[in-house]
Structure 1
Amino acid sequence: MTDLTLSGAQVLLPEGLADTRLCLADSVIADAPAGREIDLRGFLILPGLVDIHGDGFERHMAPRRGALKEARNGMLATEAELAANGITTAVLAQFFSWEGGMRGPDFAEHVFEIVTDISRQVDTDLRLQLRLETHLLENFDRALRAIDRFGIRYVVFNDHLQHDRLATGRRPKRLTGQALKSGRSPEDHFAYMIALHQKGVAVPAALDKLCAQLLARGITLGSHDDHDAATRTDWAGRGVMVSEFPETTEAAQAAKDSGAPVILGAPNVMRGGSHAGNVSARDLVAMGLCDALASDYHYPALRHAAWQLAEAGLCDLPTAWAMVSETPARILGLTDRGRIVPGLRADLVVLEQATGRVGATFAGGRLTYLSGEAGRRFLL
């Protein structure tokens, strides 16, 4: 940890960009000059990014199908990629699912162990999200034990069963590929999915019980891919008060009406639409139906999406940047970060003003990334 005074840059304060010195001391933002002064003319300093949902780490954890033994080195590579993209707090979204392979409970617990260990060795704040499949009833108790063991504070519910096809006995789309990933034969995987689908009548009561247990622990709960208003209303009735990636305007509006924060995918903003044909994130932002953005599967998209929203005039820069810093931090209950205010954590990203390239990242006052002209100035 190094005390520093950063001068010459434009700093994104809660009220907007300002030409002001920024002082760092003892891991927090200070209100008086401290340590060595660094000239950062030509740069912007913004709050460090808080990524509330990202699964881009999967490509590092298993670089090829079946290569699941690279998880430790893969997580270290993930942390380096996060820092290179200005992300100072990262929620790693790990499936706990009937789908098996990298989404199965065994691999999930392996990831939880590695992240718990590595988080003590790195400065980026690595956190866990458990993504629980709603029909995996026989593993609800196991999921609860993992949540307690690893101190997981954010749980999100998914349902990836193709119920419309399973209800009529039709084989789901992409069955063979899913079966290969799960380690089952296509026939066994199909039979397993049918059995899970048939347990649907017991799912609501089981979810009621589990959500009550999680809420009693103070855990933040979210639903993923809400398709319609009724689905979102059902989740809200259980106290599941975060809506991740709603698929329709109706679902997003229902979330907003109930006071549930709406989280959208930054890649959707970058593309101008959903790759799955769902509602456009840009449209929802324009309608005021977005509270925060998440990297989803591509870490660079987080900062680029915020910048694009401001450039497109859909909102001003402080509002856009709050979607990737202050607001996700608040949703997670992290009140010590997300803004550049004296006394808060010194979580910062330094961007080249002309290009938007990341020159430096600070997490808790420690440099986690340094590159290019910014690097030269820090090392003078």
Structure 2
Amino acid sequence: MPAEQILTNARVVTADEVFLGTVAVRNGLIHDVSEGVSQLPQAQDLEGDYLLPGLIELHTDNLEKYMNPRPGVDWPPASAVLAHDAQIVAAGITTVFDALAIGDVNPKGERMRQLPIMQSAIAEAEQRGHTRAEHRLHLRCELSHEQTLEVFNELVESPLVQMVSVMDHSPGQRQFAKMEKYREYYQGKYHLSDAEMEVFIETQIANSRRYSDDYRRAIAVECRQRSLAIASHDDATVEHAQESADYGMSIAEFPTTVEAATVSHQLGLKVLMGAPNIVRGGSHSGNVAAADLADRGVLDILSSDYYPSSLLQAARLLADNNEGYDLPRAMRTISLAPARAVGLNDRGEIRNGLRADLVRAKSHDKQFVVHHVWRSGRRVF
């Protein structure tokens, strides 16, 4: 990596504006941002393409698809991490929080068995410098599982853990307030018979009543003591949002109603919604559409969730289709806002002194096409 790089003739997208300009990078940091085209012979001509800040992904379970590419198939974990990382960086994501699910509601699932394998594989790839994006860990804690608190207390010791979310996917509330949606989703996903589904529902309701409140409280206390970002998940009511604020949560992941999102936003929680929700035009669970929250001014962060390339596509759709979202504001939902929500103050925008995490993208058919990605000034894609 050269000590200094000059990227010029680019449509530079800062946190506040877009202009034809030049970005100078020195020793992995943004050294200068200016309007105009550099005439220096060593400058790299970006030919009018967009220069965007590296994207920051707070919630993705994309790695699971590579760990188990087909039912009953366990892929070698080191290979799975690298394949996942390649897809992440190709989407323009330079910092990713890999979500590890603690507490599997799937009666035939393998998540709990794979937890330590996935954590070790990510940590080893990071330590050896094999990853192109920077990987952190996000612990997703299913509160209605008996082992969740015990496993959380073990995994939270990892230095890669920087974010935790708490969720309760039991039927009849939050994401699945509509019982028919719950049946449709889980019976289809886990291929349960009608009898198996009835047992599954009864078990989830009982476990929620037994564990959820105590585990939520204990995990929130531990996160505050460790200064970890903590997120609520699927809040549906004003009371849910208030409870999350009272526990010191800073992010509201996927609120399911306008009321919960609005109150969360008013209470200072950053409202995070799924980028696939924007791309597809609505929620797959029948809950509030992310675009509706954008129209109301209460959408702060987008997450690709299960589809990495949706992140940049959703930001472009926001800028093109939602009043009040120009390109800089839309880009903040996938760069600056998620960075600040988890305490990353050294990245997330194109500004002097910050890390040179950058994305060169062409505009084609109302989409951004990623061509180059730099992480700390080093080209990784």
TM-score under structure 1 length normalisation: 0.87
**Partner SS state of residue 272, structure 2:** strand
Q: Which moved more, 1:57-66 or 1:246-255?
A: 57-66
Is 1:301 aligned with 2:310? yes
Residue of 89, 103, 115 corresponding to 1:108: 115
The one-letter code sitting in structure 2 at the alignment partner of 1:29 is: I
**Partner SS state of residue 286, structure 2:** coil
Give me the whole-angstrom Cα distance separating, in 1, the residues matched to 2:41 and 2:92: 23
**Partner SS state of residue 144, structure 2:** coil
Give me the whole-angstrom Cα distance separating, in 1, the residues matched to 2:9 and 2:190: 56
Q: Is the 8 A contact 1:154 1:220 kept in 2?
A: yes
Q: Is the 8 A contact 2:142 2:148 kept in 1?
A: no
Distance 1:244 1:31, change over 3 A: same
Distance 1:202 1:265, change over 3 A: closer
Residue of 93, 98, 123 corresponding to 2:104: 98
Shift in Å, 1:214: 1.8
CA RMSD of aligned residues (A): 2.7
2:6 alignment partner in structure 1: 5
Q: Is the 8 A contact 1:137 1:203 kept in 2?
A: no
Distance 1:206 1:245, change over 3 A: closer
1:89 alignment partner in structure 2: 95
2:206 alignment partner in structure 1: 198
Distance 1:229 1:68, change over 3 A: farther
1:19 alignment partner in structure 2: 20
Instruction: Report Cα offsets for 1:226-248 as digits up to 9, x if no partner.
Output: 12222222222222231111111
Q: Is the 8 A contact 1:302 1:324 kept in 2?
A: yes
Give me the whole-angstrom Cα distance separating, in 1, the residues matched to 2:8 and 2:251: 39
1:46 alignment partner in structure 2: 52
Identity, in percent, stands at 29
1:372 alignment partner in structure 2: none
Distance 1:138 1:287, change over 3 A: same
2:256 alignment partner in structure 1: 247
Shift in Å, 1:359: 1.1
Is 1:119 aligned with 2:120? no
2:353 alignment partner in structure 1: 343
The one-letter code sitting in structure 1 at the alignment partner of 2:348 is: G
Shift in Å, 1:30: 1.3
Instruction: Report Cα offsets for 1:11-34 as digits up to 9, x if no partner.
Output: 112331122211112111112999
Q: Mapping of 1:79-228 within 5 angstroms?
A: 79-99=85-105, 104-120=111-127, 121-162=130-171, 194-195=202-203, 197-199=205-207, 200-228=209-237
Is 1:332 aligned with 2:333? no
Give me the whole-angstrom Cα distance separating, in 1, the residues matched to 2:225 and 2:200: 32
Q: Is the 8 A contact 2:94 2:357 kept in 1?
A: yes
Q: Is the 8 A contact 1:123 1:366 kept in 2?
A: no
**Partner SS state of residue 296, structure 1:** coil
Give me the whole-angstrom Cα distance separating, in 1, the residues matched to 2:43 and 2:153: 49
TM-score under structure 2 length normalisation: 0.87
Residue of 291, 312, 333 corresponding to 1:323: 333
Gaps of 5+ in 1: 370-380
